[in-house]
Structure 1
Amino acid sequence: MHASTDLDAAAKPDNIALAAIRSPLAALALALALLSLLLTVTIPQPIGPMFWDHYLYLDAANRLADGQIPSVDFFAPVGGLGYYLFAALQAAFPSGHPLLLASWCLLIVTGPLIGLIMLDIQKRSRALAYAILLPFLLFSVLPFNTGDFYPYPGSDGFGIYNRQVCQLLYVLAAALIYVSNPRILATVVAGAMIALFFVKITGAVAGVILCLTAFAAGRISLRSAVTSALIFFSVLAAIEFSLGAASAYVADILALLDVNDGSLLPRLFQAASLNAGLLLPAGILCLTLFFANLPAFAASLRAACRRPSVVGINQVLDQNFVWLAAFLVAGILFESQNTGSQAFIFLYPLLLRIVLDFAAKSTSKRLTITVSLLATAAALPPMTVVAQKSARAWIGAVNNVRIESRNLKTMGAVNVRPILALRAEHMRDAYITQRGAFDTLADAGELPSFLLYSDFDFQTAWLTNVDGAVDALRAYEAANGVRFETIFNIDFANPFPWLMDRHAPKRVAIGADPFRAIPPPDAKVRAAVAAVDIALVPTCPPTNVNRTLLALYLPSLEAGHTRITLTPCYDAFVRNGLRPGETAAGS
């Protein structure tokens, strides 16, 4: 398991440079450098299901540039760290594609943390360090989920913050299992837990389970645990006292729980069923480990009962099946709240340790082979799925056509299959000319397609509609001598302020899902909506979702705004002072 030859080679002066080049840290630095180079140009991405989810990062970055603070100035269903990291990376690489910026921005945090882990592990075994690093890079570099939500290959522009949580849990698991230096361990645990909290709070819950497992098993000392906790709460306190963001974030999560008041049990079953391909072998492995180690476990339990001690309790709980069971519980809890993720990738460091332990200590060749096969069956699915999906999406994009646009900046660097581009045109024409049919569907509470928001033609047409709406907004401003400073799109995503270098209203939620992610508007939200210069309403097609969303904000718009037809696919509520003739009269 240990590669002592690495240290011997490095000890020779004439091999120091070669050892440094071959080290995992050098590989990590090279990977980060290559990603930086890729972000200096705009690389078109094949459109994918729910592709508009990553446009939220553009909206957030624009709000941050205006001085808005997530949870303090606008409702956010997740933590604000991902938004800040995206904004920082976008400032450094303005030509980078938004999807790649959103997917890779977490490396600002995970890169240094995994680097510390490599620094510790490679002293004992360079091979082991590479075995931890390479899967981490696979999941971090390839922006794809482990689950399928559409039959056609395309980019996974959704569930990005869920992927980020899984990558952080991978780093945390690797540290808890392999890092021996207490200072590095405390630093990585604290850093990972802070990031988990401010990316998605359910990720922090999963992280706590991992940390408690390691602490109970004696893998992390009381001193390291206290140090990590002090760092964690010190950072939270600093953020709270300076911005008030920590308590506001918790308040947003509590409000979100009120909106999503369904039972947890069905979602747990859903998470288990969606990931059954790896959970079944992992569960069988857990049972195998339990029965294989039952005599030793029983003996340590009896000894701990006779003479209770911390060391005795650690020995009882430091069992591979205990670790694996706890990791599985943490993963199922986290995945129960997700749509799109890199589910259970953090099992890999533990599964690797289990295999290495049996290879080194087990006297039963049959048991070693069984454990190795089950661990492989649990570890491989996420890797193979992500690799396959990336290959299908990017190789299949060779024959794709670029979506034509004039106003979409880097957001418009998207391509799609010719047959789907043609379908998008046909469906858009139908939405415009057959409006009554789609109104009938909306009246019945039905979408035009059960998978409408995953349909590539919808996502393609949505971009075309946004592009046309920007032209219409500029034409309206030029014709009437006005300027819309605050633009509100009554839809899931609002890229207009970023596209037009304007402002989004404060207080309004980001990621507008009226059934899952928006609490009822309070007085501050209503006042902010009432003050917007223009509110856009998409109509291609009319849907029950957008109707529900409009119903939340319509009372705030009716008194001070007038509804107009902006384009065949967008209506608009224009603030009365900005309508034709009123600006001159009021000046």
Structure 2
Amino acid sequence: MASVANDTLAAPEGRRFPWKRSAPVLALGVVLLALPLALFKTLHQPVGAMMWDLYIYLDATNRIAGGQIPSIDFFAPVGALGYYLFAGASWLFPNGHPLFLSAWSLLIVTAPLMAVVLVEVQRRSPALAFALLAPFLLYSLLPFNIGSYYPYPGSEGFGIYNRQVCQLLYVLAAALVFVKDGRKLCGVVAASMLALFFIKITGIVAGALMCGMALAAGQLTLKRSLIAACIFAASLFALELATGVVSAYIGDILALLRLNDETLLPRLLRAASMNIGATLATVALCCALHLTDLQRVRLCLRDAVSSPSRQTISAVFDLPFVWIAAFLLAGLFFESQNTGSQALIFLYPLLLAIGLDHGRRHGQTVRSAVVAVLALAVVLPPALLVIQKASRAWIGMLDTTRLDHRNLKTMGAFAVRPAFAERARLMEAMFVENRKAFDALAAAGEPFSVLLFSDFDFQWAWLENADRAISAVRALEARDGVRFETVMSIDFVNPFPWLMDRQAPRHIAIGADPTRAVPPPGDAEYDAIRAVDLALMPTCPATPTQTDLLALYAPALLPTHIRVSLTPCYDAFIRNGLLPASWGLQQP
């Protein structure tokens, strides 16, 4: 396997036409220069299932602009890097659609690292460099998950940070497999691991497993590993001294672990079942490689047992099926914590290297054909699925109606099929007329539907009602000349401060899922809640998320705020002293 990275694959045309050897990096540069064209104007996107993560990024952008630091000033279930990249991209392209900004902002990190890999590889084979570049661009540019969570095509504004980790792991895998220059490899490993740490903590565990595999196989030297580890540790130490964010982030992760105490094995099995096609194909490929290289396996094991040394032991780890098994384990571990991702895409660079190595050693034989078919069975379906989902979603935009709104900025740049818009209106009337029934259902811990948050009509109605709630708030402010400066939401997401150019309270969790991402409030959280001017809670319909959050916040919220019906689908909690009696608002 390691021979692929060290072998000279220079193409004849590369020697005759030197410019072609730089074509892959030039192609990457052209794509990066073209992306702003899609961000100068707000391009409407089809509404999709579970778009919550997209709204979280808007909330984070507003908090960062107000001077808040993730994990220090508010609880964050993931690292701060993705939030800062999105905030920076939003500042550069204020009209860019949030879906594209969230997806493409990571290229600030991944594109330079990928360029380092391409420069190394294209010197030996421009074709091989293009083979690495094409999937990287596919998964980076198309913001869609691998896996279907809803039958209708639409945007996928969830699993964003999971996709980002997978794309970082792709770059890391390409470097570990193909980069032979020790200094460049060391730099890519250190930068990738830092980015993984500050995107999502489980990503760095997967990355460490991959780097450990490369170290055991001799592809990554011990010296370079230690240098990369020192760079990583020094960077964390410097950030901790400057901001304290590292210890705060680790504290948030420990709190998450206490909230999510399920053992690892069930999660691994669930991850394997969710990606059963790729998992089975990968296992079959491992078996095929083991059988086709059986003599080599026996020789490596015999040498390691009879003459144990670093070289003989590394030869065992360098067997192709061992590489694949280690990478698969890393991928399944990461996916064990996810809903929505670009699962296992980082297997592609490894399988590309193994396929080239196997073909070179065995030639055009039946065994090589079997290995090639199984490798394609691993890497082709995810790529085709992403292309299919993007095509269905964007072609479907031809028969949609755009959201009519006044207050949602670029967050409202969505469209939906007329049938879903009509259903949203009908269901909203049902929720309003039968509110007590749906409130009782939420209090019992059951949502109206197990697919409620995925339903396009629900997502559409949520946006419409958020727009109406903001209009109602502005009307109240204009009526009595007041201003609600701090705004929170008793819901999973709180984009209202960003939408209204206000402040979000400190210490309140971002992405507030009371079942797995909201630690029990303490004095700091309760003090922040008491000081909030306005808290908004959607009610069409009530869900267990809102009911549980209200129960968590109630000790600080209810004694200090008055609950009123803001709109038929939103209740408001207004801090005592800000609500004149002349308003005459009705209790819900």
Q: Is TM (by shorter chain) over 0.5?
A: yes
Q: What is the rounded CA distance, in whole Å, between the counterparts of 2:215 and 2:339 in structure 1?
A: 31
**TM-score for the superposition, normalised by structure 1:** 0.96
Counterpart for residue 394 of structure 1 = 394
Q: Return the offset for 1:416.
A: 0.4
Counterpart for residue 480 of structure 1 = 480
Asked if structure 1 preserves the Cα contact closer than 8 Å seen for 2:38 and 2:96, the reply is: yes
Q: Which moved more, 1:312-321 or 1:78-87?
A: 312-321
Equivalent position amino acid for 1:252 in 2: D
SS of the equivalent of 1:25 reads helix
Counterpart for residue 87 of structure 1 = 87
Equivalent position amino acid for 1:108 in 2: I
Is 2:106 the partner of 1:103? no
Counterpart for residue 454 of structure 2 = 454
SS of the equivalent of 1:74 reads coil
Counterpart for residue 338 of structure 1 = 338
Equivalent position amino acid for 2:366 in 1: R
Task: Describe the superposition over 1:508-557 as per-residue Cα deviations: whole angstroms up to 9, x where unpaired.
Answer: 00001111111111111111111101111111111222111110001111
SS of the equivalent of 2:577 reads helix
Is 2:4 the partner of 1:4? no
Provide runs of 4+ in structure 1 moved above 4 Å.
none
SS of the equivalent of 1:415 reads strand
Task: Describe the superposition over 1:111-140 as per-residue Cα deviations: whole angstroms up to 9, x where unpaired.
Answer: 100011111000000000000000000000
Counterpart for residue 262 of structure 1 = 262
Q: What is the rounded CA distance, in whole Å, between the counterparts of 1:315 and 1:266 in structure 2?
A: 33
Counterpart for residue 164 of structure 1 = 164
Task: Describe the superposition over 1:462-520 as per-residue Cα deviations: whole angstroms up to 9, x where unpaired.
Answer: 00011001111111111122111100011011011001110000000000111111111
Equivalent position amino acid for 1:559 in 2: P
SS of the equivalent of 2:155 reads coil
Q: What is the rounded CA distance, in whole Å, between the counterparts of 1:75 and 1:407 in structure 2?
A: 27
Is 2:542 the partner of 1:546? no
Q: Return the offset for 1:107.
A: 0.4
Asked if structure 2 preserves the Cα contact closer than 8 Å seen for 1:6 and 1:125, the reply is: no
Counterpart for residue 139 of structure 1 = 139
Equivalent position amino acid for 2:15 in 1: D
Asked if structure 2 preserves the Cα contact closer than 8 Å seen for 1:3 and 1:127, the reply is: no
Q: Return the offset for 1:305.
A: 2.8
Q: Which moved more, 1:292-301 or 1:560-569?
A: 292-301
Task: Describe the superposition over 1:194-225 as per-residue Cα deviations: whole angstroms up to 9, x where unpaired.
Answer: 00010000010000000000000000112221
Equivalent position amino acid for 2:508 in 1: V
SS of the equivalent of 2:469 reads helix
Q: Return the offset for 1:568.
A: 1.0
Asked if structure 2 preserves the Cα contact closer than 8 Å seen for 1:52 and 1:459, the reply is: no
Sequence identity of aligned pairs in percent?
56
Q: Return the offset for 1:438.
A: 1.2
Task: Describe the superposition over 1:353-406 as per-residue Cα deviations: whole angstroms up to 9, x where unpaired.
Answer: 111111111157011000000000011111011000000100011101101100
Show structure 1 runs of 5+ residues with no match: none
Equivalent position amino acid for 2:419 in 1: I
Counterpart for residue 191 of structure 2 = 191
Q: Which moved more, 1:202-211 or 1:294-303?
A: 294-303
Q: What is the rounded CA distance, in whole Å, between the counterparts of 2:576 and 2:140 in structure 1?
A: 48
Q: Return the offset for 1:314.
A: 1.3
Asked if structure 2 preserves the Cα contact closer than 8 Å seen for 1:6 and 1:126, the reply is: no
Q: Return the offset for 1:3.
A: 3.0
Aligned pairs (5 A) from 1:59-458: 59-362=59-362, 365-458=365-458
Asked if structure 1 preserves the Cα contact closer than 8 Å seen for 2:14 and 2:126, the reply is: no
Q: Which moved more, 1:558-567 or 1:302-311?
A: 302-311
Equivalent position amino acid for 1:426 in 2: L
Show structure 2 runs of 5+ residues with no match: 1-7, 584-588
Q: What is the rounded CA distance, in whole Å, between the counterparts of 1:522 and 1:582 in structure 2?
A: 35
**TM-score for the superposition, normalised by structure 2:** 0.96
Q: What is the rounded CA distance, in whole Å, between the counterparts of 1:581 and 1:444 in structure 2?
A: 35
Asked if structure 1 preserves the Cα contact closer than 8 Å seen for 2:443 and 2:547, the reply is: no
Equivalent position amino acid for 1:9 in 2: R
Equivalent position amino acid for 1:496 in 2: F
**Alignment RMSD:** 1.4
Asked if structure 2 preserves the Cα contact closer than 8 Å seen for 1:576 and 1:582, the reply is: no
Asked if structure 1 preserves the Cα contact closer than 8 Å seen for 2:492 and 2:545, the reply is: no
Q: What is the rounded CA distance, in whole Å, between the counterparts of 2:310 and 2:550 in structure 1?
A: 59
Q: What is the rounded CA distance, in whole Å, between the counterparts of 1:537 and 1:363 in structure 2?
A: 65
Q: What is the rounded CA distance, in whole Å, between the counterparts of 1:510 and 1:545 in structure 2?
A: 14
Aligned residues: 576
Q: What is the rounded CA distance, in whole Å, between the counterparts of 1:567 and 1:458 in structure 2?
A: 17
Task: Describe the superposition over 1:405-458 as per-residue Cα deviations: whole angstroms up to 9, x where unpaired.
Answer: 000001110000100011011111111122122123224322111100001011
Asked if structure 1 preserves the Cα contact closer than 8 Å seen for 2:162 and 2:338, the reply is: yes
Structure 1 residues 6 and 115: CA distance shift in structure 2, 3 A: farther
Q: Which moved more, 1:198-207 or 1:220-229?
A: 220-229
